Amino acid sequence: MTVDPNAATQGFPTPSPAHGRPHPARYLVPALVAAAVALALGAYGKVHDPAGTAFNLAGFSSTGAVKSWLATAAFAFALVQVVSALMVYGRLPGPGWSGALHRWSGRAAFLVSVPVAVHCLYALGYQTYETRVLWHSLLGCFFFGAFSAKMLLLRSERLPSWLLPIVGGLVFAVFTIVWLTSALWFFRTFGVTT
């Protein structure tokens, strides 16, 4: 895989040198943390009584509308994540600040998605009454597990160069399904309103 020679200076891990294989703990710890985060969220969503709390924001007609727009903003930042990652890896032409763009769009996507997920978990809980809702709840929990694993892998050195793009791609794919099964469904059902 071609990696932008600036990747290291942009704070991104570079491919491992040929010598030495990473210790299995480098994979095991992120995988265990991912499983623990996803299971803890799922268990919390399942066992507590959904509070059903609704909130209103000036200019929006319902809690669902606020959440759907926030989730859509997070999805837009996630798209910037994919494009900027391709630039960092030299697959697309990009400016010298692609690394910074990747980091900041990632932070923004995470910040925007957290309040939405907190409301889902606290007020709606882990639900399975429809296939769509089942996948949304399941992958919503899985998303935060996979995201935690990616953050831990970023700090790890000597990893195979393919690992981070695979995990990053997985996080993006999962978020896409979470968005399709919630915000897109909401807009198709109730119309694209604020």
Distance of CA 146 to the CA centre of its chain: 7
Q: Which two tokens stand for residue 99?
A: 């690394």
Phi and psi (nearest 5°) for 89? -85, 5
Q: Report the residue from 136, 145, 146, 168 that binds ligand HEM according to the rule CB under 6 A.
A: 136
Quote the least distance from Cβ 30 to ligand HEM, whole Å. 19
Q: Report the residue from 121, 146, 149, 159 that binds ligand HEM according to the rule CB under 6 A.
A: 121
148 binds ligand HEM (CB under 6 A): no
Instruction: Show the binding pattern over residues 44-73: x = contacts ligand HEM (CB under 6 A), - = does not.
Output: -x-----------------xx--xx--x--
Residues 6+ apart with CB under 8 A from 78: 105, 109, 172, 175, 176
CA distances from 80 to 58, 162, 179, 185 (A): 28, 20, 15, 22
Give the residue closest to ligand HEM by C-beta: 140
Q: Report the residue from 7, 117, 164, 167 that binds ligand HEM according to the rule CB under 6 A.
A: 117
* Degrees, nearest 5: CA angle 26-30-31: 110
* 81-100 binders of ligand HEM (CB under 6 A): none
124 binds ligand HEM (CB under 6 A): yes
The crossing angle, in degrees rounded to 10, of helices 163-179 and 131-154 is: 150
* Contacts with ligand HEM, residue ranges (CB under 6 A): 41, 45, 63-64, 67-68, 71, 74, 113, 116-117, 120-121, 124, 126-127, 133, 136-137, 140-141, 143, 178, 182-183, 186
